[in-house]
C-alpha cells in the first residue's frame, strides 16, 4: 500500500515537473542570467524552433530603437559579419540583408529579413513579425540562403519592466545535419538576448521616443 502511494506521488511529481519545463510543446533547454531558452520540434521541418525570453528594466522605446538600428545589428546579432538595410517604410516595415558566419567546412549563410512592426496600445505590446524572403534578391554563389520565420514580442508590464520574447524557426540548408543544428539551437537566442541587454544601455537608444508608441 505504502509502495503504491510512493509510486503515485512520484508520478504526480514527474507530471508536474514536466508541465513546468514543457509549455505548449516547448522544452526548456537553458536558463541562465535571467534568460530562458526553449526549443520545440516542428512538423514541417527537421530543424527545431527556438524561443528565448527575458525581462529587463528598459523602455519599449529603447528596445524599438535597437531593432530599428540595422547597422547596430553587428553589435548584437549572433555571428553576423555583414548587414545592409534594403528598404524602410515609415515605422512599420524594414527589410535588411544579413550574412552569418558558419564554421568550416560549411559555407556562410545569408538571409533577407522582413520585419513588420505593430503596436497594441491596449495590451502595451509590440509585435514584430519576421519573415525570411528567399527570393527578394539573387543568391550569392559562395553563400547559402536561409529560409524561415519568427517574431519579437515586447510587452510593457505593470511594473514598468519590459518582457521580451524572441522566437525563430530557420532552415539553414546547405547540408548541415539537423541533429547538429538542433544540438546548438540554444546558442543563437541566448547570446542574442545577452547582447541586446548590453547594447540597449547605449545613450543613442535611451534617448529615442516614437509617437506611435503610446
Give dist(CA 59, CA 53) in Å, integer.
16
Assess if residue 102 is contained within a domain: yes
Assess if residue 13 is contained within a domain: no
Domain housing 70: 25-206
Assess if residue 108 is contained within a domain: yes
Rounded to an integer, the average pLDDT of 6-30 is 57
pLDDT in tens, 65-93: 999 999 999 999 999 999 999 999 999 99
pLDDT at 180 over 80: no
Cell of 142: 559562395
How much is the mean pLDDT over the chain? 89
Rounded to an integer, the average pLDDT of 135-153 is 95
Rounded to an integer, the average pLDDT of 30-43 is 96
In this prediction, residue 104 carries a pLDDT of 85
- For the chain, what is the domain count? 1
pLDDT at 162 over 80: yes
The CATH number that applies at residue 175 is 3.30.530.20
Assess if residue 53 is contained within a domain: yes
Residues sharing a CB contact under 8 Å with residue 153, sequence separation 6 or more, in sequence order: 125, 126, 127, 128, 164, 165, 166, 167
Assess if residue 15 is contained within a domain: no
Give dist(CA 148, CA 172) in Å, integer.
9
Assess if residue 5 is contained within a domain: no
Assess if residue 156 is contained within a domain: yes
pLDDT at 118 over 70: yes
Question: Mind spelling out the 3-state secondary structure of 98-159?
Answer: EEECCCCCCCCEEEEEEEEEEEECCCCEEEEEEEECCCCCCCCCCCEECEEEEEEEEEECCC
Assess if residue 121 is contained within a domain: yes
pLDDT at 160 over 50: yes
Amino acid at each position: 500500500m505504502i509502495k503504491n502511494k510512493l509510486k503515485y506521488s512520484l508520478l504526480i511529481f514527474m507530471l508536474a515537473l514536466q508541465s513546468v519545463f514543457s509549455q505548449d510543446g516547448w522544452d526548456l533547454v537553458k536558463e541562465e542570467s535571467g534568460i530562458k531558452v526553449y526549443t520545440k520540434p516542428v512538423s514541417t521541418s527537421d530543424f527545431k524552433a527556438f524561443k528565448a525570453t527575458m525581462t529587463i528594466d528598459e523602455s519599449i522605446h529603447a528596445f524599438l530603437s535597437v531593432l530599428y538600428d540595422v547597422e547596430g545589428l553587428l553589435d548584437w546579432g549572433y555571428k553576423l559579419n555583414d548587414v545592409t538595410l534594403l528598404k524602410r517604410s515609415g515605422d512599420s516595415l524594414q527589410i535588411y540583408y544579413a550574412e552569418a558566419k558558419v564554421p568550416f567546412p560549411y559555407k556562410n549563410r545569408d538571409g533577407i529579413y522582413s520585419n513588420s512592426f505593430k503596436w497594441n496600445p491596449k495590451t502595451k505590446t509590440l509585435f514584430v513579425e519576421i519573415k525570411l524572403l528567399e527570393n527578394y534578391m539573387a543568391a550569392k554563389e559562395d553563400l547559402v540562403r536561409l529560409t524561415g520565420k519568427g517574431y519579437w514580442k515586447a510587452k510593457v508590464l505593470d511594473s514598468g519592466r519590459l518582457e521580451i520574447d524572441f522566437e525563430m524557426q530557420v532552415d539553414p540548408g546547405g547540408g548541415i545535419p539537423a541533429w547538429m543544428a538542433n544540438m546548438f539551437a540554444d546558442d543563437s537566442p541566448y547570446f542574442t538576448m545577452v547582447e541586446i541587454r548590453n547594447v540597449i544601455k547605449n545613450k543613442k537608444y535611451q534617448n529615442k521616443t516614437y509617437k506611435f508608441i503610446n
